[in-house]
Structure 1
Amino acid sequence: MSLSVPSAEPALVARLRADLERAAYTVDSVEELLGPLASAALGREQVLPAQRVTASAGTPLATLVRLFTLGDPVDASEAATALPELGVEGAGRLGLVRQEGPGVVATCDLRPYADEDHQWWVASDLSELATRAPLSPDHVLGIGGASTTLASWTPRPRVERALDVGTGCGVQALHLASHASSVTATDISERALAYAAFNAELNGSDWELLQGSMLEPVAGQQFQLIVSNPPFVITPRSPEVPLFEYRDGGQAGDALVADLVRSIGEHLEPGGIAQFLGNWEVVGDADWRDRVSEWVAGSGLDAWVVQREVQDPAQYAETWARDGGHHSATREFATMYAAWLDDFASRGVSAIGFGVITLQKPVGEREPFLDLSEASGPVQTPMGPAVLAGLRARTWLAEHTDDELLSVAWSLADDVTEERHGRPGEADPQVILLRQGGGLRRVVRVGTAGAALASVCDGSLPAAAAVTAIGSILEVDEESLRAELVPLLRALVADGFLV
Structure 2
Amino acid sequence: MSTDPAELIEKLRSDLAGFTVDSVNELLGPVAQAALGREQSLPARLAVTERLRTEDDEPLAALIAVFVLGLAVPAARLASAVPRTGLDGLAELGLIVTAGSEPGDDVRGLVDLRPYATVDALGPADWWLASDLSEVATGRPLTDDHVLGVGGASLTLARCTVRRPTGRVLDLGTGCGIQALHAARHSRHVVATDISARAMKLARLNWALNAPTVGETSIEGRLGSLLEPVAGELFDQVVSNPPFVITPRSTPAAAFEYRDGGMIGDDLVRQLVESVGSVLAPGGIAQFLGNWEGRRNEGWTDRVTSWLEASGLDGWVVQREWQDPAEYAETWIRDSGQHLGKDADDLYAAWLADFASRGVDGVGFGLITLRRPPTGEPRIRVVEERRTGPGLPWGDEVVATLERQDWLATHDDDALLAGMLKVAADVTEERHHLPGAEDPSVILLRQGGGAGRVVQANTALAGFVGACSGDIPVGRLIAALASLLEVDGQALRAELLGDVRNLVRDGLLEPAP
- TM-score by length of structure 2 reads 0.91
Alignment CA distance shift 1:418-1:255 (3 Å): same
Counterpart amino acid of residue 480 in structure 1: A
Where does residue 78 of structure 2 map in the other structure?
A: 79
| 2:198 is equivalent to residue 202 of structure 1 | no
* 1:487–1:382 CA distance, 2 compared to 1 (3 A): closer
Q: 2-side partners of 1:132 and 1:277: how far apart?
A: 29
Shift of 1:153: 1.8
Query: Do 1:302 and 1:361's aligned partners in 2 also have CA atoms closer than 8 Å?
Result: yes
For 1:89 and 1:407, locate their aligned partners in 2 and report how far apart those are by CA, in whole Å.
74
Could you tell me how far 1:174 is from its partner in structure 2? 1.0
Aligned mate of 2:310, from 298, 301, 316 = 298
Picking from 18, 21, 25, the partner of 1:27 is 21
Alignment deviations for residues 406-435 of structure 1 (CA, whole Å, 9 cap, x no partner): 444433223322121233222222321212
Partner of 2:426: 415
Matched with 2:500 is 489
Q: Give 2:7's aligned residue.
A: 11
Task: Answer yes or no: is the 8 Å Cα contact 1:156–1:388 preserved in 2.
Answer: no
| Structure 1 residue 344 displacement after superposition | 1.1
Q: How far apart are 1:477 and its partner, in Å?
A: 4.0
C-alpha spacing 1:32/1:397, structure 2 compared with 1 (3 Å): farther
Q: Distance in 2 between matches of 1:240 and 1:164?
A: 27
Does structure 1 residue 213 correspond to structure 2 residue 225?
yes
State the AA in 1 paired with 2:438: A
The residue type equivalent to 1:63 in the other structure is: A
**Separation of aligned partners in 2, 1:132 and 1:427:** 62
Find the counterpart in structure 2 of residue 349 from structure 1: 360
What is the root-mean-square deviation of aligned Cα atoms in Å?
2.0
For residues 424 and 46 of structure 2, the distance between their equivalents in structure 1, rounded to whole angstroms, comes to 48
Q: Percent identity among equivalent residues? A: 53
Higher mean alpha-carbon deviation, 399-408 vs 76-85, is at: 399-408
Amino acid at match of 1:304: W
What is the SS of the residue equivalent to 2:339? coil
1:318 is the counterpart of 2:347: no
CA distance 1:211–1:324, change in 2 (3 Å): same
1:129-178 Cα deviation digits (max 9, x unpaired): 22221111111111112111211221222111111001111011111011
Q: Give the letter aligned to residue 364 of structure 1.
A: T
- 1:285 is displaced (CA, Å) by 6.0
Structure 2 counterpart of 1:112, from 112, 115, 131: 115
Tell me how far 1:439 sits from its aligned partner. Answer: 3.7
What residue in structure 1 maps to residue 342 of structure 2?
331
Moved more, 39-48 or 113-122: 113-122
Contact 1:322 1:333 in 2 (8 A): no
Aligned to 1:137: 144
Query: Runs of 5+ in structure 1 lacking a partner?
Result: 1-6
Number of equivalences: 490
Compared CA separation, residues 39 and 114, structure 1 to 2 (3 A) = same
Q: How does 1:16-165 map to 2 (within 5 A)?
A: 16-21=12-17, 23=18, 25-57=19-51, 58-59=56-57, 60-100=59-99, 102-116=105-119, 117-165=124-172
Match of 2:300 among 269, 288, 297: 288
Q: Is the 8 Å Cα contact of residues 168 and 192 (structure 1) preserved in structure 2?
A: yes
Contact conserved, 1:285 with 1:350, CA < 8 A, in 2? no
Bigger mean CA offset, 185-194 vs 202-211: 202-211
Per-residue deviation at 1:465?
Answer: 4.0
The answer to which of 51-60 and 227-236 deviates more is 51-60
Moved more, 378-387 or 209-218: 378-387
Q: Which moved more, 1:192-201 or 1:149-158?
A: 149-158
- State how far apart, in whole Å, the 2-side matches of 1:267 and 1:399 are: 27
Cα distance, 1:391 vs structure 2: 2.0
CA–CA distance in 1 between the matches of 2:508 and 2:320?
20
Post-superposition shift, 1:107?
Answer: 0.8
8 A Cα contact 1:313 1:350, kept in partner: yes
CA distance in 1, matches of 2:393, 2:24: 22
1:165-184 matches, cutoff 5 A: 165-184=172-191
Shift of the 331–79 alpha-carbon distance from structure 1 to 2, 3 Å rule, reads closer
CA displacement at 1:378 relative to structure 2: 4.1
Aligned residue runs from structure 1 range 180-259, under 5 A:
180-204=187-211, 205=214, 206-239=218-251, 241-259=253-271
Query: What's 2:449 paired with?
Result: 438
Shift of 1:26: 2.0
- Contact 2:393 2:450 (C-alpha < 8 Å) held by counterparts: no
> Following TM superposition, by how much is the alpha carbon of 1:240 offset from its aligned partner in structure 2, in angstroms?
5.2
Alignment of 1:381-400 (within 5 A): 383-400=394-411
Task: Determine if contact 2:285/2:371 at 8 Å carries over to the other structure.
Answer: yes
Structure 2: runs of 5 or more not aligned: none
- Counterpart CA distance in 2 for 1:285 and 1:439 is 35
Question: Following TM superposition, by how much is the alpha carbon of 1:396 offset from its aligned partner in structure 2, in angstroms?
Answer: 2.1
Residue 291 of structure 1 aligns to which amino acid in structure 2? R
CA contact (8 A) 1:161 1:223 kept: yes
Deviates more, 1:34-43 or 1:439-448: 439-448
8 Å contact from structure 1 (residues 300, 368) kept in 2: no
Bigger shift: residues 452-461 or 423-432: 452-461
Contact 1:379 1:439 in 2 (8 A): no
The alignment status of 1:308 with 2:302, answered yes or no, reads no
Deviation at 1:239, TM superposition (A): 3.6
Deviation of 1:381 after TM superposition, in Å, equals 6.9
SS of residue paired to 1:414: coil
Which stretch of the first structure deviates more once superposed, 483-492 or 49-58?
A: 49-58
Q: CA deviation at 1:27?
A: 2.0
Specify whether residues 465 and 140 from structure 1 end up closer, same or farther in structure 2 by C-alpha distance, changes over 3 A only: same
Q: Determine the C-alpha separation between the residues in 1 that align with 2:250 and 2:4.
A: 37
Q: Which moved more, 1:37-46 or 1:88-97?
A: 88-97
The 8 Å contact of residues 68 and 109 in structure 1, kept in 2 or not, is answered as yes
SS of equivalent to 1:232? coil
1:466 aligns with 2:477: yes
Residues 411/20 of structure 1: CA separation in 2 closer, same or farther (3 Å cut): farther
Instruction: Report the CA distance shift for 1:480/1:214 in structure 2 as closer, same or farther (over 3 A).
Output: same
1:427 counterpart SS class: coil
